[in-house]
């Protein structure tokens, strides 16, 4: 006891020459402050939430001279005559083109690369509202004009970039393989990154008294889960259209638990989509479907985050599973913005990985970008990318062409095997991640991706959302699949000898 106090006192007096004990124990409070003031400060801090605290400090916020607007996708790199405020409720241009959020790049370029790197790095892992979020740590590049008080964030992003050492070394002969775990997230998929931006903007519109009674989407999976969670956090009604009897309890339970208005409709996904479009034309319900360009602004931060996690060194390859094809464009946009503002000098080559059962982009690519046809997608274990007529096809083609990209495909057997192999090295991957991993396997075998190429596979959802297919795989219950990496439990009688026999055999002991 005595010794501990003397050590503290010694270190305190060494640094300041003041009374060491009180300084060390009162840490953040100035040594000159009278005792009463300290109590006062502590009390104030506990009554204050992190929004208030951030406002008091004006933490990390440069004066806001930045802005962004909607422009038609096809004229995004020119100064378009047609543009819209982000405060308008609009999803397409006059001619039916997709919209793109265009930032005032000149204003952003007034700060040099070092400024942005330092600013972004200074915010990682903090609680400062809202910059502790991986999305809002890049606020100036995402939605610069929104008031911090209007932001709806669950501190998404900042996801793990996993060094896949064993998978790389033992199965792919690679030494620099990484998996960006975007699915280790609030609702278990990367959709959170986009939904925080969309729901924040809706929150702002409602505070501006724009007539928005709720936010709606047609979805069977990750989009409705993310929408429901963010709306619940903000107290905004969420309306989810789901096809009856075509989705599992696991897919249903997130929006139900988050209190969304869940309409189970006697139709398929396309039918739900058609109905919600008609409904939103009549009622002031904001449409959160995937043509919404606000979501891509949040999703692009995953690309910026990868660069940041590599200390702004650019990987050679980034592989992203694609369905509606918004996310592959979001990654491109994030990388491209870093290049334009000088944070990096090149962008990685992008690989878009599709399920062979839902591969319109792959077919288009194979035709040399000559012959595009929407297709009817067949069922795939990678259910979130079972899309035959992707909304963001133009966005994806642009991203592929600008990044010297490649499109690959994976059969059901390939994607399930790839996911199972990754799991055997300590991950717990979803089938979509399996699609990306089998694309990697193919490109590695053909030598397109080299043994020392730094490669990032984007994992889009948590495997725990897709346990049914994993159980079927490990039970070898999938027709036409060998399930060669299945690891079913052994049935053993309740008997010591029987247990010992099994262990000796399995562990090769005598």
Ligand X SMILES: *Cc1c(COP(=O)(O)O)cnc(C)c1O
Per CB under 6 A, residues contacting ligand X are 189, 191, 222, 290, 321-327, 384-385, 430, 432, 460-461
Q: Which is nearer to ligand X, 86 or 430 (CB)?
A: 430
In the complex, minimum distance from the CB of residue 175 to ligand X, in angstroms, rounded to a whole number: 27
Task: With beta carbons less than 8 A apart as the criterion, state whether 435 and 382 touch.
Answer: yes
Secondary structure of residue 241 in the 3-state scheme: strand
In the complex, minimum distance from the CB of residue 496 to ligand X, in angstroms, rounded to a whole number: 45
Q: Which is nearer to ligand X, 315 or 322 (CB)?
A: 322
Say how many residues make up the chain: 510
Burial 439-476 (b: 16+ CB within 10 A, else e): bbbbbbeeeebeeebbbbbbbbbbbebbeebbebbbee
In the complex, minimum distance from the CB of residue 381 to ligand X, in angstroms, rounded to a whole number: 11
Secondary structure of residue 429 in the 3-state scheme: strand
Q: Which is nearer to ligand X, 20 or 463 (CB)?
A: 463
In the complex, minimum distance from the CB of residue 459 to ligand X, in angstroms, rounded to a whole number: 9
The owner of tokens 């397109």 is 448
Task: With beta carbons less than 8 A apart as the criterion, state whether 361 and 324 touch.
Answer: no
Q: Which is nearer to ligand X, 325 or 420 (CB)?
A: 325
- In DSSP terms, 374 is beta-bridged to none
Q: Which is nearer to ligand X, 395 or 442 (CB)?
A: 395
In the complex, minimum distance from the CB of residue 130 to ligand X, in angstroms, rounded to a whole number: 24
In the complex, minimum distance from the CB of residue 298 to ligand X, in angstroms, rounded to a whole number: 12
Q: Which is nearer to ligand X, 148 or 324 (CB)?
A: 324
In the complex, minimum distance from the CB of residue 203 to ligand X, in angstroms, rounded to a whole number: 23
Q: Which is nearer to ligand X, 69 or 191 (CB)?
A: 191
Q: CA neighbours within 13 Å on the CB side: how many for 243?
A: 13
Q: Which is nearer to ligand X, 108 or 385 (CB)?
A: 385
In the complex, minimum distance from the CB of residue 355 to ligand X, in angstroms, rounded to a whole number: 10
ω into 355 cis (within 30 of 0)? no
From residue 207, alpha-carbon distances to 82, 87, 168, 176, 397 in Å are 26, 11, 50, 47, 37
Burial 333-359 (b: 16+ CB within 10 A, else e): bbbbbbeebebbeebbbbbbbbbbbbb
Q: What number of H helices and E strands is found in the chain?
A: 21, 13
Secondary structure of residue 425 in the 3-state scheme: coil
Q: Which is nearer to ligand X, 191 or 444 (CB)?
A: 191
In the complex, minimum distance from the CB of residue 126 to ligand X, in angstroms, rounded to a whole number: 28
**CA angle, residues 433, 264, 412, in degrees to nearest 5:** 25
6 phi/psi in degrees, rounded to 5: -70, -35
| CA–CA separation, 461 and 474 (whole Å) | 20
| CA–CA separation, 355 and 378 (whole Å) | 9
Dihedral angle, C-alpha 452, 322, 125, 205, nearest 10 °: 150
């Amino acid at each position: 006891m005595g010794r501990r106090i003397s050590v503290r006192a010694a270190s305190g007096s060494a640094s300041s020459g003041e009374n060491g004990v009180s300084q060390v124990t009162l840490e953040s409070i100035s040594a000159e402050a009278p005792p009463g003031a300290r109590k006062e400060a502590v009390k104030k801090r506990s009554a204050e939430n992190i929004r208030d605290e951030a406002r008091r400090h004006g933490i990390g916020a440069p004066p806001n001279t930045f802005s962004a607007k909607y422009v038609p996708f096809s004229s995004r790199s020119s100064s378009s005559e047609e543009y819209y405020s982000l405060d308008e409720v609009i999803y397409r241009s006059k001619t039916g083109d997709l919209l793109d959020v265009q930032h005032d790049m000149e204003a952003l370029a007034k700060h040099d690369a070092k400024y942005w790197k330092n600013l972004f790095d200074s915010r990682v892992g903090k609680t400062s509202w809202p910059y502790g979020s991986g999305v809002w740590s890049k606020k100036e590049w995402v939605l610069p004009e929104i008031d911090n008080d209007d932001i709806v964030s669950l501190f998404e992003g900042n996801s793990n970039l996993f060094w896949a050492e064993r998978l790389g070394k033992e199965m792919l002969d690679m030494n620099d393989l990484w998996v960006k775990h975007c699915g280790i997230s609030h609702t278990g998929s990367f959709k959170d990154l986009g939904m925080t931006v969309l729901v924040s903007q809706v929150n702002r519109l409602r505070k501006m008294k724009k007539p928005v009674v709720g936010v709606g989407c047609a979805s069977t999976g990750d989009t409705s889960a993310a929408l429901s969670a963010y709306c619940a956090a903000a107290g905004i009604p969420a309306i989810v259209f789901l096809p009856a009897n075509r989705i599992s309890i696991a897919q249903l339970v997130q929006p139900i638990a988050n209190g969304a208005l869940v309409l189970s409709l006697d139709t398929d996904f396309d039918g739900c989509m058609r109905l919600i479009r008609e409904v939103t034309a009549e009622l002031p319900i904001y449409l959160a479907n995937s043509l919404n360009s606000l979501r891509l602004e949040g999703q692009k931060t995953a690309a910026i985050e990868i660069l940041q996690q590599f200390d702004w060194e650019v990987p050679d390859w980034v592989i992203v599973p694609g369905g509606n094809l918004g996310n592959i464009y979001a990654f491109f946009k994030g990388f491209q913005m870093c290049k334009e503002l000088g944070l990096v000098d090149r962008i990685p080559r992008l690989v878009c990985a599709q399920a062979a059962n839902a591969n319109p982009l792959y077919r288009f690519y194979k035709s040399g970008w000559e012959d595009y046809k929407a297709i009817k997608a067949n069922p795939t274990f990678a259910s979130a990318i079972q899309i035959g007529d992707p909304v963001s096809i133009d966005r994806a083609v642009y991203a592929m062409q600008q990044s010297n990209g490649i499109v690959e495909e994976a059969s059901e057997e390939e994607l399930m095997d790839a996911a199972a192999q990754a799991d055997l090295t300590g991950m717990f991957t979803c089938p979509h991640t399996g699609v990306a991993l089998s694309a990697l396997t193919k490109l590695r075998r053909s030598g397109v991706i080299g043994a020392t190429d730094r490669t990032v596979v984007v994992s889009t959802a948590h495997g725990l959302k897709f346990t049914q297919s994993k159980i079927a795989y490990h039970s070898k219950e999938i027709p036409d699949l060998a399930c060669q990496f299945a690891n079913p439990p052994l049935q053993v009688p309740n008997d010591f000898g029987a247990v010992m026999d099994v262990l000796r055999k399995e562990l090769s002991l005598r």
